[in-house]
């Protein structure tokens, strides 16, 4: 059996969305699932980047930083950069912190996962899943005890 037949091709991202300000559920994973993210320096770097994202018309909402990946929600406006470009900037900012911590590259998988939130119910459902990640991974007993999570901006899904 040929290797190419084992994997389905990834669907191409949409060029246009028919909403003014979509909210995305985003996940970025470390290369080879290296456990390099759950620490105070990366958390601070992520929060700083998220606050500065407003300068580029992006609002970062709830997030959870796991040892080998980060989940978060972000709202984009028509004035925002392209999602792929903004994600590249985020990874670069966190990689800079990792290099300062003497963690050698390669830090990130090339791609990332994105999903457009289409309803308030979907947003809440995704958040409930994300916030429990540290509990499912055995890192804490209660999600509230995980130090690398929070909310920068309150995002509201428009109907």
From the number of C-beta atoms within 10 Å of its C-beta (0-12, 13-18, 19+), residue 142 rates as exposed
**What's the CATH number of domain 19-151, 3.30.800.10, 3.30.70.1290, 3.40.190.80, 2.40.50.140?**
3.30.70.1290
Q: For residue 158, what pLDDT is reported? A: 75
Cα separation of 97 and 139, whole Å?
A: 23
Cα 132 to Cα 5, 34, 144, distances in angstroms: 34, 20, 9
What is the DSSP annotation of 110-148? S--EEEE--SHHHHHHHHHHHHTHHHHTTS-SSGGG-SS
Cα separation of 56 and 105, whole Å?
A: 27
Report which of 138, 158, 128, 116 is spatially closest to residue 64, judged by C-alpha positions: 128
Tens-digit pLDDT profile for residues 43-73: 999 999 999 999 999 999 999 999 999 999 9
Q: Is the separation of the CB atoms in 155 and 72 below 8 Å?
A: no
Instruction: Return the SS3 of 138.
Output: coil
Q: For residue 5, what pLDDT is reported? A: 46
Using the predicted structure, report yes or no on whether residue 1 has a pLDDT greater than 70. Answer: no
Cα separation of 39 and 43, whole Å?
A: 6
Q: Mean pLDDT over all residues of the chain? A: 89
| Annotated domain spans of the chain | 19-151
What confidence category does residue 125 fall into, taking pLDDT thresholds of 50, 70 and 90?
A: very high
Q: For residue 16, what pLDDT is reported? A: 41
Tens-digit pLDDT profile for residues 38-49: 999 999 999 999
| Residue 120 φ then ψ, to 5° | -60, -35
Q: Is the separation of the CB atoms in 150 and 127 below 8 Å?
A: no
């Amino acid at each position: 059996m040929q290797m190419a037949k084992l994997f389905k091709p990834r669907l191409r991202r949409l060029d246009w969305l028919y909403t003014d300000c979509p909210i995305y559920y985003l996940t970025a994973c470390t290369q080879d699932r290296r456990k390099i993210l759950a620490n105070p320096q990366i958390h601070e770097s992520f929060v700083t980047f998220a606050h500065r994202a407003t300068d580029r018309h992006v609002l970062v909402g709830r997030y959870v930083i796991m040892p080998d990946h980060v989940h978060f929600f972000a709202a984009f406006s028509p004035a925002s950069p392209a999602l792929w470009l903004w994600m590249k900037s985020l990874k670069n900012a966190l990689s800079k912190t990792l290099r300062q911590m003497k963690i050698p590259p390669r830090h990130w998988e090339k791609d990332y996962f994105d999903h457009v939130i289409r309803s308030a119910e979907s947003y809440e459902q995704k958040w409930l899943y994300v916030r429990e990640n540290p509990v499912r991974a055995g890192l804490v007993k209660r999600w509230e005890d995980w130090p690398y999570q929070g909310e920068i901006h309150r995002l509201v899904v428009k109907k």
